[in-house]
Amino acid sequence: MNQINWVAFHTIVKKEIRRFMRIWMQTLLPPAITMVLYFIIFGNLIGPRIGEMGGFDYMAFIVPGLIMMSIITNSYGNVASSFYSNKFQKSIEELLVAPVSNPVILMGYVIGGAARGLAVGLIVTLLSLFFTKLHIHNLFVVLSVSILTAIVFSLAGFINGVFANKFDDISIIPTFVLTPLTYLGGVFYSISLLPEFWQVVSQFNPILYMVNAFRYGILGEAGSDVNIWYSFFMLAVFTAILFAYSLRLLNKGVGIKQ
């Protein structure tokens, strides 16, 4: 990366981080409060009635999934809203005519979105310590899965931002696709409880691999329904496919050159 591209990359990332930090009461505080409510309702109130899940206390079982949920939704939402806002304000055109490569532009937005997702994930993790004890089984898995998941959904948010024609379009995918996939991704239950047919169907849900890989990093192999190496493979595949598709859209100027 030459100096021009490096300066552009650094500027985009810095702008994206300042953007969500400047309005932290809208970007960081609400998801933290939402997750605390999940901890109280599902962990403290419903958890004792359920007992154990996968051999673990129910609160300890759902915490990794809730942390992943916060990373996913915030990484996605940050890039989708930011990129569309720049399209709406026509400021993205100034960036595209600058001597900056498209991969650098894409990576700048993605890293900025991932930064918000990881920031919220860290806040939720710290808040979870008030409700349960976290004994990290494998720190490398925890960090790598968090980063890869944030990148994957930042890329997905970028694609949403590219195709969005109005602000309402930003909320369609999170509401009708992302939320169902998240709730059906093993956040609150082990897929081993499902009938065999639905276990097979669940394996087509990409969020299942992210949640279970992260749960492996926290609880160990006993807490995961999916092989850790297979989960990493799926994460790598999703990252490569979404990055290639996002770059193709940016190169063709889809949603921008009209």
- 212-227 pLDDT tens trace: 999 999 988 767 888 8
What is the rounded distance in angstroms from the CA atom of residue 137 to the CA atom of residue 61?
13
* Total domains in the fold of the chain: 1
- 117 lies in a domain? yes
Instruction: Please say if the pLDDT value at position 26 is more than 80.
Output: yes
Say what the pLDDT of residue 233 is: 94
State the residue range of the domain holding 161. 3-252
Cut 0.85: pTM above it: yes
Q: Between 102 and 167, whose confidence is greater?
A: 102
pLDDT above 80 (res 257): no
pLDDT(84) > 80 = yes
Q: What are phi and psi of 26, to 5 degrees?
A: -105, -25
| 39 falls within a domain | yes
Residue 258 lies in a domain: no
Asked, for residue 257, whether it belongs to a domain, the answer is no
pLDDT reported for residue 16: 94
- The residue type at 159: I
Could you give the percent of the chain with pLDDT greater than 90? 53
- SS3 readout for the chain: CCHHHHHHHHHHHHHHHHHHHHCHHHHCHHHHHHHHHHHHHHHHHHHHHHCEECCEEHHHHHHHHHHHHHHHHHHHHHHHHHHHHHHHCCHHHHHHHCCCCHHHHHHHHHHHHHHHHHHHHHHHHHHHCCCCCCCCCCHHHHHHHHHHHHHHHHHHHHHHHHHCCCCCHHHHHHHHHHHHHHHCCCCCCCHHHCCHHHHHHHCCCHHHHHHHHHHHHHHCHHHCCCCHHHHHHHHHHHHHHHHHHHHHHHHHCCCCCC
CA distance 239 to 167: 26
Q: Is residue 86 part of a domain?
A: yes
Q: How confident is the model at residue 93 (pLDDT cuts 50, 70, 90)?
A: confident
pLDDT (tens digit, 9 = 90+) per residue, 159-197? 999 998 888 888 888 888 888 888 888 888 888 888 888
Residue linked to tokens 């005519």: 97
Q: Is the pLDDT of residue 143 over 90?
A: yes
The dihedral region occupied by 138, where left means phi > 0, alpha psi between -120 and 50, and beta the remainder, is beta
173 in a structural domain: yes
pLDDT over threshold 90, residue 68: yes
